[in-house]
C-alpha cells in the first residue's frame, strides 16, 4: 500500500493559458521538488475554453507527482472540491493558479498542522503579512467584503485564496457545501464557497488558525468590483439562510 503524501496541493484552473506561459506552475514544481517531505499536485481544469487543459496535460507528462482532472465549467467551488476529494495528502491546500500567494508560504501551513490545527487560513491582514501592488478599489472591495463576512457569517476571520485542511476535515466539510452544490457556472465568478467552508469548520468544532502570508496582486479582467461585490454579499446571505433553515445539521 502506497503511503499517503504529507501534502496535496490543489490548483483550480479556468482559462489560465497566460499564467501557464508565465511559468506559474514551474515555480510550484521547483519549490516542491526541493522539499524533503512527500507531496502531490492536482490541477483541476474548470472547463477552460482556451488551451489551458492541453498545455498542462503535455507539461505534466514527465512529472509523476502531478495530476490533471478535467471538469465541465461548474465554477471554483466544485472545481476545488473535486481536487480536495481526490487528494490523498494528510494536508490538503488549495491555492490560486496565478500564485498571488507563493507556494513557499506552505511552510507555515505545515508548521500549523504539526501544532494540531485542522483548518489553516492564509490572511493578508495579520501582523507579518504583506500585500503588494493592489489597486485601491480592489483593496476597498476586499475590506468591505471581509467586514460583511464577519458581521453575517464568520467573525474574526480575514482570508485569501490560500487555505489548507486536514484529510478528516476535508472529507467532512467539502461534502456539506450547500450554496454551490448544484451550480453550473456561466462566467469566471468564484463565489464565497471558502467562506462557507470556514463557517462549517467553526460549526463542527475544527481547530482553526490563521497564518500571515505574502500576497501580490496579479492583474485580471475577471473581477467586476460592483457586480461581484453584490453577488458575494448574496452568497454570504445564502450561507446564513442555509444555517437558519437547518441545512448544515450534523448527520
What's the half-sphere exposure (Cβ side, CA atoms, 13 Å) at 178?
18
pLDDT score of 47: 94
Q: Which domains does the chain have, with CATH numbers?
A: 7-244 (3.90.550.10)
pLDDT score of 161: 79
pLDDT score of 147: 57
Euclidean distance between CA atoms 132 and 4, whole angstroms: 36
pLDDT score of 88: 98
The pLDDT tens digits along the chain (251 residues) read 568 899 999 999 999 999 999 999 999 999 999 999 999 999 999 999 999 999 999 999 999 999 999 999 988 889 999 999 999 999 999 999 999 999 999 999 999 999 999 999 998 878 888 776 555 555 555 665 565 555 555 555 555 779 999 999 999 999 998 887 766 665 656 667 888 899 899 999 999 999 999 988 776 656 566 677 777 788 888 888 888 888 887 65
Euclidean distance between CA atoms 218 and 151, whole angstroms: 28
131 conformational bin, left if phi > 0, alpha if psi -120 to 50, beta if neither: beta
pLDDT score of 93: 98
Q: What pTM did the predictor assign?
A: 0.87
Tell which residue, 74, 66, 44, 78, has the closest CA to residue 193: 78
Backbone angles phi, psi at 99, to 5 degrees: 55, 40
Backbone angles phi, psi at 241, to 5 degrees: -65, -40
pLDDT score of 124: 82
- Angle (nearest 5°) at CA 91 between 69 and 196: 75
What's the half-sphere exposure (Cβ side, CA atoms, 13 Å) at 248?
22
Amino acid at each position: 500500500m502506497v503511503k499517503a503524501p504529507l501534502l496535496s496541493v490543489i490548483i483550480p484552473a479556468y482559462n489560465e493559458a497566460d499564467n501557464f506561459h508565465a511559468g506559474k506552475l514551474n515555480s510550484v514544481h521547483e519549490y516542491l521538488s526541493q522539499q524533503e517531505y512527500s507531496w502531490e499536485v492536482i490541477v483541476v481544469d474548470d472547463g477552460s475554453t482556451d488551451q489551458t487543459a492541453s498545455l498542462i496535460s503535455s507539461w505534466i507528462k514527465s512529472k509523476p507527482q502531478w495530476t490533471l482532472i478535467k471538469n465541465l465549467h461548474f465554477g471554483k467551488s466544485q472545481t476545488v472540491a473535486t481536487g480536495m476529494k481526490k487528494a490523498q495528502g494528510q494536508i490538503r491546500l488549495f491555492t490560486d493558479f496565478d500564485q498571488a500567494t507563493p507556494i513557499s508560504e506552505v511552510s507555515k501551513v505545515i508548521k500549523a498542522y504539526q501544532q494540531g490545527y485542522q483548518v489553516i487560513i492564509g490572511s493578508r491582514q495579520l501582523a507579518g503579512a504583506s500585500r503588494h501592488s493592489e489597486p485601491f478599489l480592489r483593496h476597498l472591495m476586499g475590506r468591505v467584503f471581509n467586514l460583511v463576512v464577519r458581521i453575517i457569517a464568520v467573525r474574526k476571520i480575514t482570508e485569501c485564496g490560500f487555505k489548507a485542511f486536514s484529510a478528516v476535515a476535508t472529507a467532512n466539510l467539502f461534502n456539506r457545501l450547500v450554496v454551490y452544490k448544484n451550480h453550473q457556472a456561466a462566467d469566471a465568478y468564484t463565489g464565497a464557497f471558502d467562506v462557507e467552508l470556514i463557517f462549517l469548520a467553526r460549526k463542527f468544532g475544527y481547530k482553526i488558525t490563521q497564518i500571515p502570508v505574502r500576497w501580490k496582486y496579479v492583474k485580471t479582467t475577471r473581477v467586476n468590483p460592483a457586480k461581484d461585490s453584490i453577488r458575494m454579499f448574496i452568497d454570504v446571505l445564502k450561507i446564513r439562510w442555509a444555517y437558519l433553515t437547518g441545512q448544515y445539521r450534523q448527520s
